[in-house]
Chain A
Amino acid sequence: MNDEIRIEDFLITKKQKEFEYDFFKKAEEYEKWEDVDFDGVYESERTFVVEEEDIKAYSEGILDDNFLFNDREAAEKGPFRALTAHPLFLTSVGFWLTGDSGPGSWVRTPGAINPGQVIEFYEPICLGDTIRATHRFHDKWIKRGKRYLTYVTEYFNQKDQMVAKWWITLILPRSKGEESHNF
């Protein structure tokens, strides 16, 4: 790890402090590309209760100072009538809900590469929302020697409104993330 830049120095929120950030720790237990293929829908065991510090920390992490995502009082006078999460706040929701084992844990695979994503948004995520998710296998394929995997994850708020649907795709290494992708 870089001597000057330590993850610990950037942990702000309760969730960040609680979350296991060592992606090597349970790597042997993550789903592998070879193993993933199931019918049905898996529901995350956890939920994400959206707190003010979560929304603000994400905005800081993407260098976005939009008042809708940073200033509670001003945002309450805006079009969403609440402090609102940046659309890609969904990333932190997704990693939180997946946790570090079980279905979907392949997203933590060391050395996984992001080729591109598709997301549909239906409702904004706002302060006070409680988000849950369901996941299902969508596809896996090999193209130019690289192994792709896609899940479809649907996110719902406490009113059972779907807030987003994400076709999550990664290119996964063959094993342990130690082999070259040969890009």
Chain B
Amino acid sequence: MATIAFDQVEPDMQLPSITRHVDQRVITRNATASLDYNPIHVDPVWAKKVNLLGKGTTIAHGMCTFSFMTSVITDWCYSNGGFISRMESKFIVPVRPGDIITCKGVVTEKHPRRSTKSFVVVELTAENQNNEIVAVAKATVTLPSA
């Protein structure tokens, strides 16, 4: 697991990416973990019947994709005292069973502070196996000094 300090970080720095294979087991397990049992996630028969998003399948939780994206940052800096202070996300394309999601992050801003904790802004993307961006997010991350 990587460790990182504010002074070591520069804009355009790429964070290590993570890849997750999503199938119905992953989606249902995520439902039990998050307590979000919306049938659009866990009930393939209902999902096919209502066909909410056009392909008649269940879809993964947006918060599951968001969690994958968040883990890019927690893997990168939490063991060294980094902390996410704000995140915002936008879900663009539904994630479906069978998708392979790769989450990437890049440091886009660096905010040095003397009296409070210095922080960086990381922009995140989640991309499926067809190179479609399925979600984007932006995180504000405080980092320890060197």
The reply to whether A64 and B71 form a contact with Cβ atoms under 8 Å apart is: yes
The answer to whether the Cβ of B63 comes within 8 Å of any Cβ in the partner chain is: yes
Per DSSP, are chain A's interface residues mostly helix, strand or loop, or mixed?
A: loop
Q: Assess the A114–B86 pair: CB atoms within 8 A.
A: no
CB <8 Å contact, B44 and A58: no
Report how far A87 CA is from B86 CA in the complex, Å. 10
Number of A-B contacts (CB under 8 A): 166
**Chain A residue, CB-CB nearest to B61:** A114
A63 touches B86 (CB 8 A): no
Which residues of B are found within 8 Å of A15, using beta-carbon distances? 35
User: Please, how many angstroms separate the alpha-carbon atoms of A119 and B89 in the complex?
Assistant: 9
Assembled-state Cα–Cα distance A111/B58 (Å): 10
Distance in Å: Cβ of A169 to nearest Cβ of chain B: 10
Let me know if A41 is at the binding interface, CB within 8 A. no
Chain A 33-55 near chain B by CB (<8 Å), digits 1 or 0: 00000000000000000000000
Picked from B44, B71, B81, the residue with its CB within 8 Å of the CB of A86 is: B71
A77-101 CB mask vs B (1 if < 8 Å, else 0) is 0110000101110011001100000
Closest B residue by C-beta to A93? B35
CB neighbors of B among A120-151 (8 A): 120-122, 124
A13 to chain B, nearest CB (A): 9
Question: Quick check: is B129 within 8 A (CB to CB) of the other chain?
Answer: no
Which of B20-28, B109-117, B119-127 lies on the face that meets chain A?
B20-28
User: How far, in angstroms, from A5 to B30 measured CA to CA in the complex?
Assistant: 13
Return B144 CB to nearest CB of chain A, in Å: 8
In the complex, what residue of chain B is closest to A120 when comparing beta carbons? B86
Question: Is B36 an interface position by the 8 A CB rule?
Answer: yes
B50 with A87: CB separation less than 8 A: no
B76-93 CB mask vs A (1 if < 8 Å, else 0) is 001111011111111100
Interface 0/1 of B39-81, CB less than 8 Å to A: 1101111100011111000000111101110110011001111
Q: Is the CB of A63 within 8 A of B63?
A: no
The 0/1 profile, CB within 8 Å of A marked 1, for residues 1-18 of chain B is: 100000000000000000
B29 engages A1 (CB within 8 Å): no
**Looking at the complex, which one of A11, A58, A121, A177 makes contact with B84 (CB distance below 8 Å)?**
A121
How distant is A117 from chain B, measured CB to nearest CB, in Å? 5
Which residue on A lies nearest to B94, using beta carbons? A183
The answer for the CA separation of A173 and B35 in the assembled complex, in Å, is 20
Contact present for A96 and B67 (CB under 8 Å): no
A residues touching B (Cβ–Cβ < 8 Å)? 1-2, 5, 7, 10-12, 15-16, 19, 21-24, 57-58, 60-64, 66-69, 78-79, 84, 86-88, 91-92, 95-96, 108-122, 124, 173, 177-181, 183
5 A–B contact pairs at CB < 8 A?
A10-B29, A24-B39, A79-B78, A120-B86, A177-B50
